[in-house]
Chains A and B, each alone.
Chain A
Amino acid sequence: MTHTRYELNKELAQMLKGGVIMDVTNAEQARIAQNAGACAVMALERIPADIRKAGGVSRMSDPKLIKEIMAAVTIPVMAKVRIGHFVEAQILEALEIDYIDESEVLSPADDIYHIDKTKFKVPFVCGAKNLGEALRRIAEGAAMIRTKGEPGTGDIIQAVRHMRLIQSEIRRIVGLAEDELFEAAKTLQVSLDLLRFVHENGKLPVVNFAAGGVATPADAALMMQLGAEGVFVGSGIFKSGNPEKRAAAIVKAVTNFDKPEILADISEDLGEAMIGTNEEEIDLLMAKRGE
C-alpha cells in the first residue's frame, strides 16, 4: 500500500472537520482564537471586511507576520495567496505553512489559470460556488474545498447559495445513469474520474467547509445543517463587540449544530455582531473571481 503526500494532505483536512477556522491578523488574535477552540487559524494582514474597505490590490501577507502567528499557536496555520500566483505559494511552502488558501479574497494574479497545486508538497484549500468549480480545483490538486460565500460582508446569503447549489448538484449526479456521466462531465467541464467519485459516494472527494459571511453561532449552525463539514469565520469574530465570547460560541455551535436548546443558550448576550453589508449594497463581488 502506498500513501501519497496528497492523501496525507486530504487527511489533515479530515482532522479539521467539525471545527472552526478563524481569520487572525496578529499573534495576539491567534492566541485568542486558539483559546476559544479554533481548530486552525488563517493568518492575514487584513481581514476581508477591511480589504473591502481599503480597496486597491490585495496580496499575500508579510512572511514576518505569518511566522509570528505560526510561532504563537500549536494549531495548524493557513495563509492566503492570490489566485494563480504560484510564487506566493512557493514562498508560503518555504515557510512550512500547514495549508495554503488560493483565495478570491485577494486580487487575482492570473485571470485564466489557477495554481497547479499538484506541484506542491503543502496542501491547498480553494473556494467554489458550484460543483464544477469544486471539481476543477480538486483536479488542480486542492486537498480541501470551501464555499466562496461573499467575504467580509457578514451576510450569509452567498455561502448558503453556494452550499445549497453544490449539495443539490451532488444529489443530481448521484441520480444519473452511468452512461449519462460522460455528458455531465462535459457540461460541468470536469474530469470524468472525479465525477464518477461523486456519483458513487454522494460527496466531494475532499472535505468541504463553509466560508464567507458567517457572523453568528446561528450562521455557523445553518451552514453545518446544510451539509458543511466545518466553518471558516473571517471578519465575523474580530469585527464584533466581544471576539473571545463570540469565537467560543461559534465553536460550540459547530459541534452542536443540530441542538436548538444549546444554540439558544450560546447565542445569548454575545455583544454586537459585525455590522455587515447586504449583497445589493456592495460593488465588488469577490466570489466571481476565478471560475
Chain B
Amino acid sequence: MHIGILALQGAFIEHAKMLDRLNVEHHEIRCLEDLKKPMDGLIIPGGESTTMSKLLLDLNMFDQLQEMIIHGLPVFGTCAGMIMLADSTSNNHVKTLRTFKIVVKRNAYGRQLGSFYVTSEILGIGEFPMVFIRAPYVESTSDEVEVLARVDGHIVACRQDKQLATAFHPELTDNTALHQYFLNMCE
C-alpha cells in the first residue's frame, strides 16, 4: 500500500504522521512528476482551497489529477480537500476538480472565531473527534453520495464510490479510524 499526499500547501505533514502510525508508505506531491509516481490512493489535505486550486493550475497538475480520480484513483479530501473535490461551491467561487457530486459552502461556520471542536457519530466508525477550522459543510448531494456524518443537521462527512470527504480534520486528532477506513477503500 502506498499513498500520495498532495503537498502544495496546508497541513500535509499531519496526514503523513497518521499514515506513519498505520505503517503505510507515502510520498509528497508537489509537482507533475510526483503525481506520476505509482500510488494506491491520494489524500488532499486542509489548507486554503484558493491556493491549492491556483497551484494545481500553475504547475500543470489540474487536468492530470482530475483524470486520475475519474479513472478510479481512491481519494480522501479533508476541509479544503473536500472543497477541491466538490462539484461546485455555493458561495465564493473557486475552480474545483468536480469529481464528487456535492455542493459545498465555504467558510460555512464563519471566521476563525467560529472554529470549533465536537464529537459526533460517523456511519460505520462510531463516535469520532471532529476539529472544524474555518470549515465548509456540504449543502446538497446527488443520489450516488452516501452521507456518513452530520453535525447540527449539516453534512460533514460523505462518500461517493472511491471518494471520501470530511469538512473536519481527522489528521489533527490521534484517532486513526477514518484514515484506516480510507485505506480499506484503497485495497
Would you call B58 and A248 a contact (CB within 8 A)?
Answer: yes
- CB of A259 within 8 A of CB of B31, answer yes
The docked-state distance in angstroms from the alpha carbon of A70 to that of B112 is: 12
Q: What's the minimum C-beta distance from B154 to chain A, rounded to whole angstroms?
A: 18
List the A side residues contacting B129 at CB < 8 Å: 1, 3
Interface residues of A in 116-147 (CB under 8 A from B): 121-123
Q: Is the CB of A9 within 8 A of B58?
A: no
A74 is an interface residue with CB less than 8 A from chain B: yes
> How far is A39 from B110 in the complex, measured between Cα atoms in Å?
17
Say yes or no: B50 contacts A75, CB within 8 Å: yes
Which chain A residues border B22 with CB–CB below 8 Å?
none
A37→B134 CA distance, assembly (Å): 18
A11 contacts partner chain B, Cβ-Cβ < 8 Å: yes
Query: Does A232 count as interface, using CB distance less than 8 angstroms?
Result: no
Query: Nearest-CB distance from A119 to chain B (Å)?
Result: 15
Is A14 positioned at the interface, with any CB of B under 8 Å from its CB?
yes
Q: Is the pair B169, A11 in contact by a Cβ cutoff of 8 Å? A: yes
Number of interface residues of A (CB under 8 A): 39
Q: Using a CB-CB cutoff of 8 Å, which residues 250-273 of chain A contact chain B?
A: 251-252, 254-256, 259, 262
With known contacts A36-B54, A255-B55, A15–B10 Cβ distance under 8 A: yes
Q: Say yes or no: A9-B112 contact (C-beta < 8 A), given A39-B47, A262-B31.
A: yes
Beyond known contacts A17-B11, A39-B48: 19 more, CB 8 A cutoff: A7-B117, A12-B115, A12-B133, A15-B46, A15-B80, A18-B8, A18-B9, A37-B51, A70-B111, A74-B106, A75-B50, A76-B48, A96-B112, A96-B113, A98-B134, A122-B113, A251-B55, A255-B7, A255-B8
Residues of chain A at the chain B interface (Cβ within 8 Å)? 1, 3, 7-9, 11-12, 14-19, 34-40, 70, 74-76, 96-99, 121-123, 248, 251-252, 254-256, 259, 262
